[in-house]
A and B are shown apart, each in its own frame.
Chain A
């Protein structure tokens, strides 16, 4: 995991800078998956206009990937502070249950006003949940994994309580818009996710906020010494993460017009963490990459679609996914690439006898 090879190469020409770009490998992995699909299913890249909106596998990946992108977006900032937020899946379930619960009992379920209050209610509660996480982590110094585990376990119970253990079905055209509607040919969820990613990138990169988050995660002691108040920042990222999860929850429940407290957002926290890792943000905190996270989330969603397209039997799906994830992670690791590349380079000119020993010499020299 040494960063040196990458930075060395980046100082070269334009081509070398591209090769050293941290988003190159996640992007290549995603591209390879998409091309793999194309090989099996020739219509895979086809996007048509149907009923006034775009229709095709790629659009599906974007639409179903949108909630994961949002959850992973919040997770990226949390991980950048050396934290982790396991409670996002439960927040997804709570947000969906609250919104659908409100709409189903409202006097006029189909009105825009009902939808707005439902969304506000879900986001308001998510704000409180995020604050609770932030308070535990920043105020009381509880380890993030433990602090958020509490809400992860309890939250799903809360979501079930809201729905009385039942799936809440709603019929509301304005609410359906959030996750299942289309605007300007595109799924509204995709546009919403894109807007939120852009806004987050703008705020973190155009102000000092991103750097402050990275410094708190990269070296808490040093950032404390230079006078950065970590408490507020930590609370902020957990609130942000909860809000992102809530919007994702609204999308998921809106897409199927129902809230399922048991299953909505189940294990999405793990997918989100994986997306962040595939995107090149280290779990040890510090530098983060929002673009990488988006690529990571899309890679995971593409993987699911691949399983359906190829007809991988359900019994082997998990093994297949794990295999792809291992390959993607290895390809991403600079240390692994350095080893693999060196082995190939040294193999070519030398006779076979010394091929085995050669890489080790090189390794020692480096």
Chain B
């Protein structure tokens, strides 16, 4: 399920980057229609979620629900159970109920034009979260709020170049890729490679897919540990693979985090626990907790203010010394 989500995300991100380029007049046409629907009182938001296919998604749902309560926004929540028709039905219901703003994570990228047009005609602004849609008409939605995977890879690479700034090379890196062809895997690989390219001492000596899972991460790392003489750094595209690989490193008699530096992406709770134990050196966050940002955007959109067409989620980089402090706040 996560793979399919990732795949959809790739396509969606590609589509969205293409769209933002030609959507300069998009926001201008919307505000007049959007403000028409407002008549004071608390804002009502209709949120159509993809489903509950992963821990990341569950945390995402929780974040939206809690943030709505905090912001005093009435939330009408619908779970599409991974089906587009359910989501379209939910959006139509939201339109009939005359909510002030609709937010949703599209299950798939295409086939949204009709229902989004209905929302636009009803004067209800739409915000996309986490995944984008593929449409010719960028005025159908106000903004897209989600992560930038290339930036995540870059942050990971920048941490590495910083950590080894004063040390002589070569630095041998092994990479555990995500599911082959998925957006997070492609982008996190590209971003990381980009960040370390400037310095010749950084060398990726082996790179294989670990399918985003612990079992595969462990299996591939065990093979790496035998086929590569000298490994200084492990870069894993998600925490689960890193956690599996850590076990492999330990079983080989080495100390993860010390003998082999471990860089990971996502920021799940288990990874923070491993970080407090010194087994992971740095985690680049991929944040599902976009509720707060979503509510802020919703308020602005409903008030008729112009918002950027693409908003990135706030994502931190957590080195080891910050892990203990951040651990209690990790909810997923």
Binding site for B on A (CB under 8 A): 41, 43-44, 50-51, 55-57, 60, 64, 164-167, 169, 180, 252, 255-258, 260, 262-264, 304-305, 307-309, 311, 313-315, 317
Contacts and interface: CB of A to CB of B under 8 A. Distances in A.
Contacts of A64: 219, 222
Interface stretch (B24-32, B65-73, B207-215, B291-299): B207-215
Contact of B227 (A41, A50, A252, A260): A41
B208 A255 contact: no
B95 interface: no
29 contacts: A41-B227, A43-B226, A44-B226, A50-B253, A51-B253, A55-B251, A55-B252, A60-B223, A164-B58, A165-B53, A165-B54, A166-B55, A167-B214, A167-B240, A256-B215, A257-B247, A258-B214, A260-B214, A260-B240, A262-B1, A262-B2, A263-B212, A309-B227, A311-B208, A311-B227, A314-B177, A314-B208, A314-B209, A317-B180
Q: Range of interface residues on chain B?
A: 35 or more
B270 interface: yes
A252 B215 contact: yes
B191 interface: no
Contacts of A51: 251, 253
B244 A256 contact: yes
Contacts of B206: 308, 311
B172 to A, nearest CB: 13
Given A257-B247, A263-B212, 17 more contacts: A41-B227, A50-B253, A55-B251, A57-B226, A60-B223, A166-B58, A255-B215, A256-B244, A256-B247, A260-B215, A263-B215, A304-B219, A308-B220, A309-B223, A309-B226, A314-B180, A315-B181
Interface string B227-248: 1000000000000100110010
B318 interface: no
A363 B211 CA distance: 47
B58 A60 contact: no
Contacts of B213: 260, 263
A182 B180 CA distance: 33
Across the A-B interface, give the 4 residue pairs with the lowest CB-CB distance, nearest first. Answer: A308-B223, A314-B209, A256-B214, A166-B55
Contacts of B270: 167, 169
Contacts of B181: 315
A116 B211 CA distance: 31
A36 to B, nearest CB: 13
Nearest to B250: A51
A269 to B, nearest CB: 16
B52 interface: yes
B38 to A, nearest CB: 36
Contacts of B252: 50, 55
A84 to B, nearest CB: 24
Contact of B223 (A57, A164, A256): A57
B279 interface: no
Contacts of A180: 247, 251
A165 B219 CA distance: 23
A315 B208 CA distance: 9
A45 to B, nearest CB: 11
Contacts of A41: 226-227
A52 to B, nearest CB: 11
A206 B252 CA distance: 41
Nearest to B212: A263
